[in-house]
Structure 1
Amino acid sequence: MKTTKSINLLELFDIVIKKWWLILLLTMAGFATAYSITAIFVTPIYEAKTVLFIGQENSGLASIGISLGQLEADSQLITDYKQIALTHLVIDEVMKNTGMNIAYNEFQKDVVIETVKDSRLFTVGFRHTDPQIAKMVSDELAKQLTLAVSQIVGVENIRILDQATVPQKPIAPNKLLNAVIGGLLGLFASLFIVIIMFLLNDTVKDEEDIETLIGISVLGSIPKFKREAK
């Protein structure tokens, strides 16, 4: 009659210690494989940002008084301007002036608009695989947004403070993070293999294994003698 092998945690821990080299090997293999795949096959994405300022119409930066109520009003304006930046009115002009030829929805996905907390500043950015294109589109997007606001709202209260710079480092992918995830997958795979090896190992080692295998108690055992040298 075939019996199911029970899991002895001490034995399992012992085989894990003995197979440390396999666990380390598969963990390092997972780390290196994930890093290599990310570096070779995943295209890096760059993000450029143009900084804008919301002020009062026809006023300089230094002459604008800031109050809590004004900040709240400007926060609402920024929300409105975010939506305007994603309209066909703005995006179509940007694509025409930059020579880009992609779908409107795809362009929208690459636009990044963020506010600067407790200020009238916000950024208009664009993500692309080419850092030069990211910078060019970001600046053009900011320019067309200021024109659209003037046309729709009837005021000229947006000023471009800083043109975008050409990004030097990609924002994605995160090679280290992917490599760590790959290493963890390798670790889990190695532990799974070790456990399977433990469960499939039916070698008889001692009296307890014999009792488990045949289901009866062992009455005695033959001791092992060392052969005497002649």
Structure 2
Amino acid sequence: MNSIHQKKTFGDHLMTLKKGWWVLCLLTLLLAGAGYAVSTYVIPPTYEATAYILVVPQQNAETTSTTTLVSTYQDILRSPEVIDQVAQKMDVTDKRIFDLTNRLTVASNLDSQVIALSVTDRSAEQAAIQANTMTEVFQDYVPQLIKTSSTEVFSTARIPTEPVSPNILMNTAIGGILGLLFGLLIVYSRALGKKSVAEETKETSYPQAVSHPSRS
């Protein structure tokens, strides 16, 4: 009995989806296209350029762990003093460069002597220029603070050719999935509505018999 009921339920689902296939396809294509269009023509692209700095501890200096030095350098790179000097070196007169703190990412792998300095910008060229300028300022600024190590630019930032955001493929896929979900909601809502109307019509067409009291 249960197997028959399950087959019937599965068949009902297939019938519902078959009747509303055009709604599913239409909404999936519309929202996927909207996600693609917004990502391509509305959201401005953002580029990321990365420079790599090598931390070299001095042999004759006091023992200091490489992890501590890297962590210290990461804090120095994020400091307002370094960012201000980057702005001065680039001859920036407006305050646009001062939002560099929010566009700057400084990271390193565990037990690594290499620091990855990444800068994002709407301009691919500006992202590379700002990253390389920061490494130059950092190399001039660090010896004044820490004399137990030195830094070398392991790799300068190159002008990126592809934006890091928006992710057109992901946004298109998300739009398509949302369209499919909205389509399923509409299709099943219509099916439930028709079923309710049919049940009400059936009850109205076959009213229950009213029993009359017998005459004595």
Identify whether the pair has TM-score above 0.5, normalized to the shorter chain.
yes
Q: Do the aligned partners of residues 109 and 213 (structure 1) sit closer, same or farther apart at CA in structure 2, a change above 3 Å counting?
A: farther
Please show how residues 71-86 of structure 1 align to structure 2 within 5 Å: 73-86=65-78
Higher helix share: 2
Q: Are 1:91 and 2:71 an aligned pair?
A: no
- In the alignment, the residues of structure 2 paired with residue 217 and residue 84 of structure 1 have an alpha-carbon distance, to the nearest angstrom, of 85
Aligned-residue CA RMSD in angstroms?
2.8
Alpha-carbon offset, residue 95 of structure 1: 1.1
Q: Do the aligned partners of residues 215 and 154 (structure 1) sit closer, same or farther apart at CA in structure 2, a change above 3 Å counting?
A: farther
Alpha-carbon offset, residue 35 of structure 1: 0.7
- In the alignment, the residues of structure 2 paired with residue 192 and residue 120 of structure 1 have an alpha-carbon distance, to the nearest angstrom, of 54
Aligned length: 198
- In the alignment, the residues of structure 2 paired with residue 111 and residue 204 of structure 1 have an alpha-carbon distance, to the nearest angstrom, of 60
Q: Do the aligned partners of residues 97 and 201 (structure 1) sit closer, same or farther apart at CA in structure 2, a change above 3 Å counting?
A: same
Q: Do the aligned partners of residues 108 and 203 (structure 1) sit closer, same or farther apart at CA in structure 2, a change above 3 Å counting?
A: closer
Please show how residues 144-223 of structure 1 align to structure 2 within 5 Å: 144-201=137-194, 211-213=202-204, 216=207
Assess if the C-alpha contact under 8 Å between 1:46 and 1:130 holds in 2. Answer: yes
Q: Do the aligned partners of residues 204 and 48 (structure 1) sit closer, same or farther apart at CA in structure 2, a change above 3 Å counting?
A: closer
Alpha-carbon offset, residue 163 of structure 1: 1.1
Alpha-carbon offset, residue 154 of structure 1: 3.0
Amino acid at match of 2:25: L
What are structure 2's unaligned runs of at least 5 residues? 1-7, 210-216
- In the alignment, the residues of structure 2 paired with residue 36 and residue 204 of structure 1 have an alpha-carbon distance, to the nearest angstrom, of 40
Give the TM-score normalised by structure 1.
0.75
Amino acid at match of 1:47: E
What are structure 1's unaligned runs of at least 5 residues? 1-7, 60-69, 219-230
Assess if the C-alpha contact under 8 Å between 1:84 and 1:148 holds in 2. Answer: no
Give the TM-score normalised by structure 2.
0.80
Alpha-carbon offset, residue 11 of structure 1: 3.9
Name the counterpart of 1:140.
Answer: 133
- In the alignment, the residues of structure 2 paired with residue 104 and residue 115 of structure 1 have an alpha-carbon distance, to the nearest angstrom, of 24
Where 1:157 maps in the other structure, the secondary structure is strand
Amino acid at match of 1:191: L
Alpha-carbon offset, residue 203 of structure 1: 8.8
Deviation per CA, 1:168-224: give whole Å up to 9, x if none: 11111111111111111111111111122223326977xx77544557469xxxxxx
- In the alignment, the residues of structure 2 paired with residue 145 and residue 215 of structure 1 have an alpha-carbon distance, to the nearest angstrom, of 87
